[in-house]
Structures are given as C-alpha cells and as structure tokens.
Amino acid sequence: MPEPVLSIRGLRKAFGAHVVLGGIDLDIAVGSIVGLLGPNGSGKSTLLDTVTGFVPKDAGRIELDGRAIESLDPGAISRRGLVRTFQLPRMPARMSVREVMLAAERSGSGLADALLGRRAPSALAVDGLLERLLLTPVAEQPASAISGGQKKLLSIAMALANRPRLLCLDEPTAGVHPNLRQEIMALLRDANAQGVTLVVVEHDMAFIRGLCPRCVVLDRGELIADCAPDDLADHPRVVEAYLGRAGAR
C-alpha cells in the first residue's frame, strides 16, 4: 500500500459499558477514497470524532502523516490538514453563506500553500464551490437560516475551501436532494484528483459504488470487511449485519 496519510492502531472508545470501538486498526493511503459503512449506531461518527479530536479516545494510536495526534484540539488537527464534516452541520450565527466560506478558506491550509508556493486550486475557490453546489442564490443569506440540505452542501463546500489533505465526510448526501448527489460525487472526485484523500461515511450504496474503490464496514466495535464495494456481498457478516438489515440500495 502507498504510505498512509492516516494510520489507526488499536483505537478503543466506550461510552460507559458500551464498547463502540473495540480496537480498530485502519490505514488510509495517500490519495485514496475510502467508504466507511456500518449499521446505525455502529460507531462511524465516533470513529471520526476520535480521529479529528472532538471526542477523547480510551486507547490506541492515531498518526497523521506519521506523526501522532495527541491533542484533543480539532483546530490544531485541521491546521495539520485533517478536516471533517458533520452528520448534522451547525452554522455560525450572523454570518452569511459567503462569509462562512471565506472564513473557512482563510482558516485553512492557506499558510501551508503560501509556504509551498502553491496557488489555490481553482475548482476549490469559494465562488466556484458555491456555484457548483447551487448555493449562489443564497450566498448573502445568513448561513444559519438556509435549509438543512443546503447546510449540508455548505458544510462540504466549507470543508473543501479549507483545502484539507484528508477530508472525512459524515453522511454527505443524507438530506440532500437526489439531483445534487451526482454533483457532490463529481465535486469530491475533482477534489480527490487535486490530491485530497477522502473518507466517506455513507449509507447510499450507489454513491459508495460510484465514488469509493475501497470500503470498510464497522459493526459492533469491529471492522468486519475491507474490500471493493462489489465484493461486500461475499462477506457473510456484512450481509447479516448490514446489507440484509439496512438493505443495499
């Protein structure tokens, strides 16, 4: 495997007696797109929460570019290039859609880009992102007042404007109109072509098949599969735990 941008070893997290992550090992290769699947409550969001410094882990080692993530500091972690979106995005009060985009762009790896002499990739520029996600008509509205689906789109655009090297997306298409799912997929493919590594938590199997050459499945604290999406049906535990119950769409 090419060098991992993210390396997770023995990651454990319990809430009281409930073990949500029972010792997870996972490597994410630089430049890859990995789908993270699993039934509701299997710990997908908790995995992202622990990796991105929003929730303390109980045990284990998480390395970003070979260097341990020790601090519970999402801001510091995002400045190292690891950015995530939330299942239920919240927006700052009293800022317009365009203002939150510009803030995301400024807070991101602009410094690193300047140091490396790189220019902003044009497809990830603020106005281009707003246009592609059909947010231009609401660009001057308060970000806290747009619809849930629009907030989802805006949170993806904000994350990309931040110019991450590794972006973890928590259910990027949930609550988004089906017509826009193709555009999200195209945008994420373009971001990946420009070097952004992606981890995508998603239930929409068509979306996963279209975007992710590799997927991993969480269930009851363990990773129970790591394969191409088309090979998931060959894993009896996946069929029993996930495809059978949730229904492959």
From the list Mg ion, ligand ADP, none, pick the one residue 41 interacts with, judged by a Cβ distance below 5 to 8 Å according to partner type: ligand ADP
15: contact with ligand ADP by CB under 6 A:
yes
The helix/strand count (H/E) of the chain reads as 10, 10
Count of other CB atoms within 10 angstroms of residue 236: 11
Which lies closer to ligand ADP via its Cβ, residue 54 or residue 102?
A: 54
Among 20, 51, 124, 241, the residue binding ligand ADP under the rule CB under 6 A is: 20
52: contact with ligand ADP by CB under 6 A:
no
Among 44, 132, 152, 203, the residue binding ligand ADP under the rule CB under 6 A is: 44
Tokens of 53: 């410094």
Query: Helices 97-107 and 148-161: crossing angle, nearest 10°?
Result: 30
Terminal-residue alpha carbon distance, the chain: 30
Among 32, 42, 173, 197, the residue binding ligand ADP under the rule CB under 6 A is: 42
Tokens of 118: 């790189």
Judged by DSSP in three states, 153 sits in helix
- Give the neighbor-by-neighbor strand order of the sheet with 59-64: 18-29, 4-15, 59-64, 67-68
Q: Considering only residues 212-231, where is the footprint of Mg ion by CB under 5 A?
A: none
45: contact with Mg ion by CB under 5 A:
yes
40: contact with ligand ADP by CB under 6 A:
yes
Q: What does R_g of the chain's alpha carbons equal in angstroms? A: 18
Span of 25-33, 35-43, 157-165, 190-198 interacting with ligand ADP by CB under 6 A: 35-43
Residues of the shown chain interacting with ligand ADP in the complex, contacts defined by CB under 6 A: 15, 20, 38, 40-46
